[in-house]
Amino acid sequence: MPKAQAHELRCAGRVVARYVWDPRLPATVSPRPYLHPVTTLGGTTVTGFMPDDHVHHLGASIALPIVNDVNFWGGSTYVTGHGSIRLDNHGRQDHHRWLHRDDDRAEHELHWAGRDGVTLVRERRALTVRQLTHDAWMLRVDFTLASADGTTLEIDSPAARGREGAGYGGFFWRAPAGLDRVHAYGRDTNGDVHGSRDPWVALSGHHRGGAPWTLIFLADEKDPWFVRSADYAGVCSAIAWKRLTVAPGGTLTRGLSVVIADGPPSSAITDTAMAAIREEPA
């Protein structure tokens, strides 16, 4: 079996995220690289890994429900007319090579393979961190997907197959389980932000007696936001809200920034996030 791969990302002199590819993960979680733990500069963990409620949620990761009938999300597969079914169709994202690694940036090349081991997708991703203030830092995620053999990639989700609102798929952030209080809101939506196309959405929470934290998500593309804050806490810029096709020879590229801050939601955190994005190179 291939050896596990891991890389630590550092900011302000401390490890703020551990990026891991572990080939020993069970097939039913659709093994893939993940970020966990991710922490604030104050040391509070803001990701959840394989929680009991959804064991296929792996910290912060790039995952897609269906690509050419292969499940790259983990768990059940939604089948039109039948609902969610446990199928033996889980794929995996395999480490191919590192393109760059240092304290504040990692570039990774991955091969997405089906259960038969045949590579369907080639991916290049980059993770970058930088400090914003004494209590906030930013994670930048960029990824590009392309067909491995030049055939069309058909990407869809439970929503595309008829399960209303279940359009998850893309860079998904699972917050820790058991939070005492969770608040999700957007720039234009201070209520149910799920399915909105707000320029940014925020998620905040804390455990009872623990330190509060706030995350602000800003996506380059105006994909709908998949947001959960009741049964569990998680955010995804949902590229698979509707069925998506990547033509032969084409690519699918997405970019997302996440501001990770100590403290409850505030205008200061939001202003910091907006200023940081404006400073990002085009």
pLDDT, residue 64, reads 98
Amino acid at 65: P
Q: Does residue 277 register a pLDDT over 80? A: no
Domains identified in the chain, total number: 1
Mean pLDDT for 142-170 is 93
CATH number at 240 reads: 2.70.98
Which tens digit of pLDDT belongs to each residue from 125-152?
999 999 999 999 999 999 999 999 999 9
Concatenating the DSSP letter of every residue in 125-149 gives EEEEEEEEETTEEEEEEEEEEEESS
Q: Which of 204, 218, 217 is nearest to 264 (CA)?
A: 204
pLDDT grade, residue 192 (50/70/90)?
Answer: confident
Q: Is the pLDDT of residue 280 over 90?
A: no
**What number is the average pLDDT over the span 66-70?**
96
pLDDT in tens, 193-202: 999 999 999 9
pLDDT at 165: 84
Phi/psi zone of residue 169: left (φ > 0), alpha (ψ -120 to 50 degrees), beta? left
> Is this model's pTM higher than 0.85 or not?
yes
pLDDT band at 62 (very low <50, low <70, confident <90, very high): very high
pLDDT tops 90 at residue 254:
yes
Share of the chain above pLDDT 70, in %: 99
User: Is residue 85 pLDDT above 80, yes or no?
Assistant: yes
pLDDT in tens, 5-15: 999 999 999 99
Q: What pLDDT, in 10s, does the model give residues 28-58?
A: 999 999 999 999 999 999 999 999 999 999 9
The domain containing residue 228 runs over which residues?
Answer: 5-279
Instruction: Please report the pLDDT score of residue 281 as a whole number.
Output: 58
pLDDT score for 164: 87
* Cα separation values, 239 from 67, 118, 157, 226, 257, Å: 12, 24, 9, 10, 15
Structure tokens at 122: 């080639």
